């Protein structure tokens, strides 16, 4: 059995090592390593939500996610995982005034996403983020769509939490036979926290769901402090975006996927540090989703289609909204709308 698993790992290592379509960063200007093509692509993907008509918009959103996944996984040469972008930003800022091209290289993608979020809202989360797209795809294939009325207190959340924990423990047992886990394998620790969250949510989702979302800020602070201190901490989905085989990250990615079958977008809800950055940026954005109470029929359709449970009684919680526009596209009374406010409110 061990030999069989080792062969699978060797095959995955070979696949990851040859996964990128480019052997060096795509250059946007002569003599630089700035991946201009990727920056332009991400900027364009952020603009699409406002350009598309309501009819067929969700199909275009899924196509948008597929294109973004292709770019981040197979084209972008640097690691652009949820931790990688934060580390790159810190390193890029430190290079300003010393190696400006290198600073631009590391800052370009995080700054592009941050700026587009301040203009277009959290469209990166709902339309572009490859980690979010992966969770959504797996949930659509293997899970059942659930909104605010999730099966709280039933057996399924406990079963999924237990299955995720069992897979994680078996994976750690295998890894510890062949290697020693260091702090670089931090995805393991984030996986442990995520599994604990699944059990808490399975126990009392209505009580724990909202308070646990504050852990995103804790996760962000840990990553920022580690980046400033120079500690190399890899994210749970590190191997997906880097041209390096990382078995600990692969196991953590599997935990993130399984967790999304228990709680939709579990990683985004509770632990994603980059989501916390985008939440702040989107809070100052021009574009936002607003509800019109006078037009609301209180049918509950918007709440049922929201995978983030970001809508209550027809009111949208902007701090949790991913701007996927499912609520807008499914509201029969058009009581939820996308608005652009270019002028400050009096």
Would you call 251 helix, strand, or coil by DSSP? helix
- The pTM score is 0.85
Residue 25 confidence (pLDDT): 55
286 pLDDT higher than 60: yes
Angle (CA) 138-25-190 rounded to 5° is 40
Rounded to whole angstroms, the Cα distance separating 105 from 116 reads 18
Fold category of 285-340 in CATH: Alpha-Beta Plaits (3.30.70)
Instruction: Enumerate the domain spans of the chain.
Output: 18-132, 144-280, 285-340
- pLDDT tens profile 296-322: 888 888 888 999 999 988 888 988 999
| Residue pair 289/321 in contact by the 8 Å Cβ criterion | yes
Q: What share of the chain is helix, strand, coil (3-state, %, to 5)?
A: 60, 5, 35
Residue 18 confidence (pLDDT): 60
- pLDDT tens profile 205-215: 889 999 999 99
Q: For residue 306, give every residue at least 6 positions away whose Cβ sits within 8 Å of its Cβ, in sequence order, or none.
A: 147, 148, 326, 327
C-beta neighbour count of 236 within 10 angstroms: 32
Rounded to whole angstroms, the Cα distance separating 223 from 232 reads 10
Torsion of CA 283, 117, 233, 197, to 10 degrees: 50
Percent of the chain clearing pLDDT 70 (strictly above): 79
Percent of the chain clearing pLDDT 90 (strictly above): 23
Q: E strands within the chain?
A: 287-291, 311-312, 315-316, 336-340
């Amino acid at each position: 059995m061990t030999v069989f698993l080792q062969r699978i790992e060797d095959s995955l290592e070979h696949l990851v090592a040859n996964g990128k379509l480019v052997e060096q960063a795509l250059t946007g200007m002569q003599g630089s390593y700035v991946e201009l093509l990727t920056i332009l692509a991400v900027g364009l993907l952020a603009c699409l939500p406002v350009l598309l008509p309501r009819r067929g918009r969700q199909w275009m959103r899924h196509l948008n996610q597929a294109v973004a996944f292709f770019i981040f996984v197979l084209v972008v040469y640097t690691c652009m995982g949820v931790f990688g972008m934060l580390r790159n930003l810190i390193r890029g800022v430190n290079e300003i005034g010393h190696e400006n091209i290198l600073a631009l290289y590391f800052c370009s993608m995080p700054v592009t996403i941050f700026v587009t979020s301040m203009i277009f809202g959290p469209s990166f989360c709902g339309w572009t983020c490859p980690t979010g797209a992966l969770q959504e795809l797996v949930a659509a294939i293997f899970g059942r769509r659930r909104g605010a009325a999730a099966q709280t207190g039933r057996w399924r959340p406990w079963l999924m939490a237990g299955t995720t924990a069992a897979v994680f423990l078996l994976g750690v047992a295998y890894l510890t036979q062949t290697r020693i886990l260091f702090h670089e394998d931090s995805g393991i620790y984030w996986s442990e926290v995520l599994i604990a969250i699944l059990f808490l949510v399975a126990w009392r989702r209505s009580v724990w769901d909202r308070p646990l979302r504050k852990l995103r800020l804790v996760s962000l602070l840990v990553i920022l402090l580690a980046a400033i201190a120079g500690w190399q901490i890899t994210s749970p989905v590190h191997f997906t975006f880097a041209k390096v085989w990382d078995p600990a990250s692969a196991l953590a990615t599997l935990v993130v996927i399984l967790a999304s079958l228990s709680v939709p977008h579990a990683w985004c809800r509770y632990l994603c540090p980059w989501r916390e950055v985008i939440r702040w940026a989107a809070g100052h954005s021009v574009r936002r989703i607003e509800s019109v109470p006078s037009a609301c029929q209180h049918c509950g359709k918007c709440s049922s289609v929201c995978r983030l449970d970001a809508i209550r009684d027809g009111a949208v919680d902007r701090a949790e909204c991913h701007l996927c526009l499912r609520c807008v596209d499914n509201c029969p009374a058009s009581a939820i709308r996308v608005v652009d406010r270019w002028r400050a409110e009096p």
